[in-house]
Amino acid sequence: MNATGPSGRTAVAVIGSGNIGTDLMIKVLRLSEGLRVVAMAGIDPDSDGLARARRLGIATTHAGVDGLVAMDEFAEVEIVFDATSAGAHQRHEEVLRPRGRVLVDLTPAALGPYVVPPVNGDAHLDAPNVNMVTCGGQATIPVVAAVSAVTPVHYAEIVASIASRSAGPGTRANIDEFTETTASALERVGGAARGKAIIVLNPAEPPLIMRDTVYCLVSDCDREAVRASVEAMVDHVSGYVPGYRLKQRVQFTPVPDDDPLRRLLPAGATGGPALKVSVFLEVAGAAHYLPSYAGNLDIMTSAALRTAERIAAHRSGKVAVR
């Protein structure tokens, strides 16, 4: 297997020819200096993603993962992006892992470790399968981690609101997995003691840009240090997702003694001062495939691209992108 061609770039394939897979393919073509797309696999022969790939000179198959491994181009592939569904990913891993390919999983299957580039982007560079959590997770976990870096987060709750038009069949089929995977990653990557996630498919017309709200329950803390940590993290994320920004300054609200939230405080802290930290985010897409309202696609595919570039650089001994 030859991972790099004459250009020195690592060969990758995309499974999934829907919104996410197509946007990711275009991002690799337009933005990546370390990766090159050599194949796209789907299951719908009439999908727009496969048609676009063919027009761009990329080898395609509508026979899914079985068609991919049968392609001549598969011999070159080092990294495979899976932009299908949580259920489908389990079989894809069974087929691809024994063949030595690294999987970057954009479904909520979470068979491999969670990766959120600005939080733990270098922690799993040797893993055979890494999971990109969810679009809501990629948008909000960095904020929870930024708060957690200053003060313990007893509870984190996030609400991700995305335009209904930007949610393809895979997203709609995985709503339960979305909430479960995001909540778990808020704890395991973001550092919250407990996490909860909610997704809203907004049917508004014209479609609204992705909005994310993050609530963190903390004991009394250095508010300016928390604010500075969150703002620095937002700047970091916007370095690879240009449409990612704060909608307003970080807010701090005292939690009254009779507020049910206090039940989530750890023993010994229930009678002391407590704060609810509120962070309001907006994610506009780069419009590589869908219009700019689809920030959920943009942050997910941008995070996957950043992760794959780091893995490729690590495997080749080059300096990984930051």
Active site residues: 135
- 167 among annotated binding-site residues: yes
Q: If residue 83 lies in a helix (H) or strand (E), which one and from where to where?
A: none
Contacts 24+ apart (CB under 8 A), 122-125: 122/310, 122/320, 125/310, 125/311, 125/314, 125/315, 125/320
Tell me the CA distances in angstroms from 153 to 92, 160, 230, 273, 283, one per residue in order: 36, 19, 13, 14, 24
Residue 137 annotated in ligand binding:
no
239 assigned ligand-binding residue? no
Position of tokens 């989530």?
264
Phi-psi sector, 42: left (phi>0), alpha (psi -120 to 50), beta: beta
Strand partners, 310: none
> Would the annotation count 166 as a binding residue?
yes
Query: Binding residue per annotation — 2?
Result: no
**Contacts of 215 by beta carbon, 8 Å cutoff, 6+ apart:** 156, 157, 158, 276, 277, 278, 279
Residue 179 is labelled as binding a ligand:
no
Per the annotation, does 174 bind a ligand? Answer: yes
Residue 181 assigned ligand-binding role: no
Long-range Cβ pairs for the range 237-241 (8 Å, 24+): 237/118, 237/142, 237/299, 240/117, 240/302, 240/303, 240/305, 240/306, 241/283, 241/298, 241/299, 241/302, 241/303
Residue 120 assigned as binding residue: no
- Annotated binding-site members: 17-20, 166-174, 296
- Annotated binding-site members for NAD(+): 17-20, 166-174, 296
